[in-house]
Amino acid sequence: MNRRKALAFLLLLGLAFGLPVGAARKGWFVECAAGFAALDPGDLNARPEAQQQRLEFLYRDGYEALQRFSGGAFSYVLEEAQGSGLRGLHGGFPVALRIGRSLGARVSLFAGLEFLGRQRTSSLQQTYRVNDQRPDQVTPPGACVVDTGFPEYFLSARAWVPQLGVIVDLCRRRSWTGGVRLAAGPMFAAVRTLESQHYRKTDADGYWQEWQQVVDMKGSGAGVAGDAMARLDLALSRRLGLQVEGGYALRRSSGFFGPGSYEYQYRDMNAARDPVRNRWQGEWRTRRIELQREWGRLGYTLSGNDLGGYADTGGFCLDLSGWRLAVGLALAL
């Protein structure tokens, strides 16, 4: 008998015998729960989206413009891109542990701790086969292959949420109870982005040159959290109960501060330059960047602790709020 069949069997037993759900929360009780959270942290996800837009603007859009306006002296072919594209964080699986005490027939208080961690590794590699016969170039006209992209793009967010809350039973039947769970508390969070970017150009005569840079940024911040959940309790035995919850969870943190590092390495077929390295500590902020080229303009927003000389447009916020659905067990002590 697999786990799903065993759980269904226990549920049927509880419903058939009409065991009192409230018994699972008489006196002291412990609950553990896990579920799915709909997430879309806008400030954090904007960074990989902007980096992919920038890459395509500088290369694909630039080559497309040269092909249109060169009178046939410039052409390119973009091979099928490798990788999934740079992805943000969407969806998470929070787990929670709560200990509480019943204050009467319908009200219970509890203290709990929730953890939510989400990470994603993505990549994007583009290969352009270029034929440049324009006579006014610094380098001799000819063909080349340009490989560019992000071999690795890592993004992560973690949050720890200690909470105090109340469970209120609104509707009681012999085998089930319906109610609400309300909770509030602080949120302590950490974020990280690691961007590994690569460029390589190979001429028709075999000469190649390449560079690689890695930007790694971390930060920690704090904020507030709150839950408003509808709740259904089902009895499995006189001491064990099953809960199903659904509702909205507020999870927002700001004031992120942490370390960052940068490494740049250039080399060609003849030699390699010494790598450039830099480290810093800084506050996470957002910045507005404008790229102006002959073929157009690209404006985008980046968040991080490496603002440099760009315009600061506001603070960084990690927003892990969203709708939740969870399943848990309660054990009377």
CA distance 200 to 211: 7
Q: How confident is the model at residue 309 (pLDDT cuts 50, 70, 90)?
A: low
Whether 251 has a pLDDT exceeding 90, the answer reads yes
Q: What is the pLDDT of residue 17?
A: 38
Per the CB < 8 A criterion, the answer to whether 50 and 302 are in contact is yes
Residue 4: CB partners within 8 Å, gap ≥ 6?
none
- Give the number of domains in the chain: 1
Please tell me the predicted confidence (pLDDT) of residue 137: 64
Read off the pLDDT band of 1 (50, 70, 90). very low
Q: Which helix (H) or strand (E) holds 302?
A: strand 296-304
pLDDT the model gives residue 178: 93
Residue 168, pLDDT > 80, answer yes
Give the pLDDT band of residue 292 (cuts 50, 70, 90): very high
**Among residues of the chain, what percentage have pLDDT more than 70?**
89
Choose among 288, 82, 258: nearest CA to 157.
258
pLDDT at 235: 87
pLDDT over 90, % of the chain: 71
**313 falls in which pLDDT band (50, 70, 90)?**
confident
Overall average pLDDT of the 142-146 stretch: 92
Distance (Å, rounded) from C-alpha 251 to C-alpha 48?
22
Which domain, by its residues, includes 40?
3-332
